[in-house]
Structure 1
Amino acid sequence: MIHPATLTVPSSLPVFPENHRLKLFSGSANLELSEEVARYLGVALGPMVRKSFADGELYVQIQESIRGCDVYLIQPTCQPVNDHLMELLIMIDACRRASARQITAVIPYYGYARADRKTAGRESITAKLAANLITQAGASRILAMDLHSAQIQGYFDIPVDHVYGSPSLLRYLKQKNLPDLVVVSPDVGGVARARAFAKKLNEAPLAIIDKRRQAHNVAEVMNVVGDVAGKTAVLVDDMIDTAGTISEAARLLRKHGATKVYACATHAVFSPPATERLSSGVFEEVIVTNTIPVPQEKRFPQLTVLSVADILGETIWRIHDDSSVSIMFR
C-alpha cells in the first residue's frame, strides 16, 4: 500500500545569492506550499497580517518595507475561491500602495479558469474577468501552473510565465518502473497534454477516452480510442474536481482489459464526492501535487501528494534573476 507522500522539498537545496530586493509573501490559501518555496529559495516569508472583519470583509497589512522591491505573492485561488481571489487582489493592492517595484502574482492554481470561452448566449468568460481583476489590482506579471487551457495566458495584458506540474509527476512515475505503460487522455481536449506526457515516458503509446458531457460536473464516457488491453493505464489530466470524468474513464479502461489504472493530475480540487469515487478501488494510485492543499479528511490510502515547491521556487528565482524560465526538472 502506498501512503500519501510527505510535502517536502529535496534535502540538498541550491544556494541562491542573497538579494534583499526579493520579497516573498503568502496568502492564506496554501501556507504550507509557500513555506516550502521559501525554504527552497533560502528566504523567509515576509510578515503580514491577514484577518476578517465580523461581516466577512478581508484585511491585509504588509509589515515590512517593500519600497523598490520585487514582491512575489503566493496564492492559489482554490476553495473558497471567492475569498482567496479577493485576498490576492487585496495583497496586490497593498503592495502597489507600498511602492513595490514589481509585483508577481504566483498562482499555483488559477480558479475560474474553466469558463474560458462562450459556449452559450448571455454567459460570462470568468477566466478573462479574473485576469482583468488581477491586472487592474496592480500585478506586474503572473506565474501560473497548469492553466486549464493555454489561451488563458493571452487574457492577461501583463507577462505570464506558465509552468507545469508534470515534471514532478513524471519523476515519480519513472521511479516506479511500471510495465507496459499506456498514457490515456480522459477527453479529447486533453490530448495535447497526454501526448506530451507520453513522450516523456519513453514514448509510451497514447489512448483517448471519447466522452460527452451532459451537464457541468456530469460526464458520460462512451468509448476508448486505442489499445489498453493487458497494459498499465495512466490517466492524465490538469485537475480532478468531482472525479466523475476520471472515475468513469478508469472503469471503462478496466472493461477494455487494462490491468492497472493510475490517475495523475496537477490540481487536487476534490469537490464532493471525489474522495469516495477515487477511493472506490478502481485506481491503483491517485497521484496529485500540492498546488492545492489536501486536508486530512480528503485523503485516502491510494493518494500520493507530490511537492511542486522546487518548480515554483526555481522559476521565481529565474524571473528575479532575469534568466530563462524554459527549464526542465528531471
Structure 2
Amino acid sequence: MTAETAKQRMKIFALNSNRPLAEKIAHEVGVPLGKATVNHFSDGEIQVNIDESIRGAKVYVIQSISEPVNDMLMELMIMVDALRRASASEINVVIPYYGYSRQDRKARSREPITAKLIADLLEMDKITRVLTIDLHAAQIQGFFDVPVDHLVAAPLLASYFTDHKITENLVVVSPDHAGVSRARTMADLLGAPIAIIDNRNVESSESLDEIPTEIIGKVAGKTCVVVDDMIDTGTRITISAEALKNAGATKVYGCATHAIFSKQAPKILQSSQLEKVVVTDTIRIGKEKQFDKLVEMSVGPLVGNAIKMIFNNEPLEPLFRSSIKK
C-alpha cells in the first residue's frame, strides 16, 4: 500500500462540539474533514448522516462532551453507531474534553460513577480506541478495556510562561491537595518549586466569600501560577488568587486545560486578582465567553500529531516532552 493510499484510508469527522478545533487537527494531519451532517428532529432526536463511503477506513471522530453535554454525548454515540454500520475498520473517538469525568468514584453513599458509565456506553458502541486530554483523574483510563491514549497539555501551557519570560522567582501552586500531582508536573517543566493552598472546605470552592488562609510553601514576593485541570464557575481559581495575594504573592496567573466557563465565570475571572487566565481550546469558547485576561492555546497540533503517530503505529512518548505551540 502506498503512502497516498494509506492516507486515503484515514477519515476524520467532526461533530458539533468544537468544529474550529477539528479543522486545526485535520489541517495538522493533512486530511480534509469527512462529509457528515447532524440534524435534529422537532422533538430533539438527533439524526446523523455520513455523506461519503468509509468502508474499510480508519476513522477518527472528534467530539468533546461539553455544553450542551447530553446532546454532544448522544451525537457521538449515534455517529459511532453509523460508522460501525457503514463498515469502518476502526472507530477512534477523539474526546478532547471527557465530560462526566468529575464523578470518578463513590465519594458518598448512593452516588453514581458517571465516568465509568460513559466508558461502558462507548465500549458498548464498539469503539476501537479513545484519544483524550487531561482526564479529571488519570485512573479513568482503567475504566476502558480498549486502548486509551491520554495526552497532557502541561507542556503546551508551560510554553506560554517560558515564551513570555515568566520564569523568574516563580512558584507553581495547586488550588487544593487533590491537584498536587498536576502542579508537580507543571513545576518540573518550568523548573519551579510548588506550593499548596490548604483548602479543606469543599464548599468554599464554590463561594467567593470564604478565602483560605493557610498555604503550604513560600509564596511571599513570588510570581505564582495556579494550575488546575478545568475551570468551571471560576470561583476556585479566583479564591486561590485572592489567598495568594493575601499571603504576599506579587503576581498570580491561572492556567487550566479545559475552559468550561459556566454561569458568570468570564465576569468573575476578569474581575479577579489573576493577571492572565491561560487555557486550551479543548472546549470551544464562544464570543460571549471571551474576556480581556483570557489566553487561549490550541491543542490542534498536539492532537493532530498524536493521530498521525497512532495511524503509523508510532509511540506517543515524544508528545509528553515537547511544547507544541499554537
| TM-score, normalisation: structure 2 | 0.94
Aligned residue among 160, 169, 172 for 1:180 = 169
Query: Is this contact kept in 1: 2:241–2:272, CA < 8 A?
Result: no
**Residue type at the aligned position of 1:225:** I
Alpha-carbon distance in 2 for matches of 1:194, 1:218: 21
Q: What is the alpha-carbon distance in structure 2 between the residues aligned to residue 217 and residue 194 of structure 1?
A: 18
Counterpart residue identity of residue 329, structure 1:
S
Instruction: Look up the match of 2:132.
Output: 144
Residue pair 1:212, 1:222 contacting (<8 A) in 2 also: no
Greater relative contact order (Cα 8 A, min sep 6): structure 1 or 2?
1
Q: Which amino acid aligns with 2:228?
A: D
1:244 aligns with: 235
Say which SS state the counterpart of residue 139 (structure 2) adopts: helix
Q: Is the 8 A contact 1:182 1:228 kept in 2?
A: yes
Shift of 1:275: 1.1
1:294 alignment counterpart: 285
Deviates more, 1:297-306 or 1:210-219: 210-219
Gaps of 5+ in 2: none
Change in 2 beyond 3 A, CA 1:216/1:295: farther
Q: Percent identity?
A: 49
Is the contact between residue 311 and residue 329 of structure 1 (CA under 8 Å) also seen in structure 2? Answer: no
- Measure how far apart 1:121 and its partner are: 1.2
Query: Which of the numbers 19, 25, 38 marks the counterpart of 1:37?
Result: 25
The residue aligned with 1:192 is 181
1:91 partnered with 2:108: no
Aligned to 1:154: 142
For residues 177-326 of structure 1, what are the structure 2 equivalents within 5 Å? 177-178=165-166, 179-202=168-191, 204-215=192-203, 218=206, 221-326=212-317
Which of 254-263 and 174-183 deviates more? 174-183
Unaligned runs of 5+ in 1: 1-15
SS of the counterpart of 2:8? Answer: coil
Check conservation: 2:238, 2:272, Cα contact below 8 A. Answer: no
Cα distance in 1 for partners of 2:126, 2:50 equals 15
Tell me how large the CA RMSD over aligned residues is.
1.4
What is the aligned residue count?
Answer: 314
Indicate the structure with greater helix content. Answer: 2
Identify if the C-alpha distance between structure 1 residues 246 and 47 changes in structure 2 by more than 3 Å, giving closer, same or farther. same
Distance apart, 1:223 and its partner CA: 1.6
Q: Residue 274 and residue 121 in structure 1: after superposition, are their counterparts in 2 closer, same or farther (change >3 A)? A: same
Match of 1:48 among 21, 36, 53: 36
Q: Out of 310, 315, 322, which is 1:329 matched to?
A: 322
Displacement after TM superposition at 1:329 (Å):
2.0
1:66 equivalent among 35, 54, 69: 54
Aligned to 1:11: none
Q: Is the 8 A contact 2:155 2:189 kept in 1?
A: no
Whole-angstrom distance in 2 between the partners of 1:91 and 1:97: 10
- Aligned partners of 1:325 and 1:61: how far apart in 2? 32
| Whole-Å separation in 1 of the counterparts to 2:284 and 2:218 | 35
Measure the CA separation in 2 of the matches of 1:56 and 1:284: 42
Contact 2:17 2:66 in 1 (8 A): yes
Q: Report what 1:13 is aligned to.
A: none
SS in 2 for 1:263: strand
Q: 1:216 to 1:155 in 2, by over 3 A?
A: farther
Q: Is the partner of 1:177 in helix, strand or coil? A: coil
Q: For 1:74, give the aligned amino acid.
A: I
